[in-house]
Amino acid sequence: PQLKKSESEESRTARRQTIIFLRLIVVTLAVCWMPNQVRRIMAAAKPKHDWTKTYFRAYMILLPFSDTFFYLSSIINPLLYNVSSQQFRRVFGQVLRCHLTLPHANHSKHLR
């Protein structure tokens, strides 16, 4: 009975860490994508001929921030996975060295 309790505690801890990690990813992506979404909504909300000088200025100020944060999300995402998963680090390193040794999950299905 003692063994099952420790397994249960381990799985609870793993589940808790996974939930924290997923929340971190969602919040990070939301923050990174929000300026781009605001810019897209601004472009769609008013026809261009109705834009005021202030509206256009706000749009142009937002443009470099939205692009920067949007592309930053593609950098942050692998870093977050790198921090959270030892297997991701191992496979990512293999991919960077062009020497992937880990078999694909469906490898045995393809052999049949």
**101 in any annotated domain:** no
Closest to 77 in 3D by CA, of 40, 31, 13, 35: 31
Condensed to tens digits (0 to 9), the pLDDT of residues 66-101 reads: 999 999 998 998 888 877 777 777 877 788 788 767
**111 in any annotated domain:** no
Q: What is the domain extent for residue 45?
A: 6-96
What global pTM score does this model have? 0.62
**81 in any annotated domain:** yes
**38 in any annotated domain:** yes
Condensed to tens digits (0 to 9), the pLDDT of residues 20-35 reads: 888 988 999 999 999 9
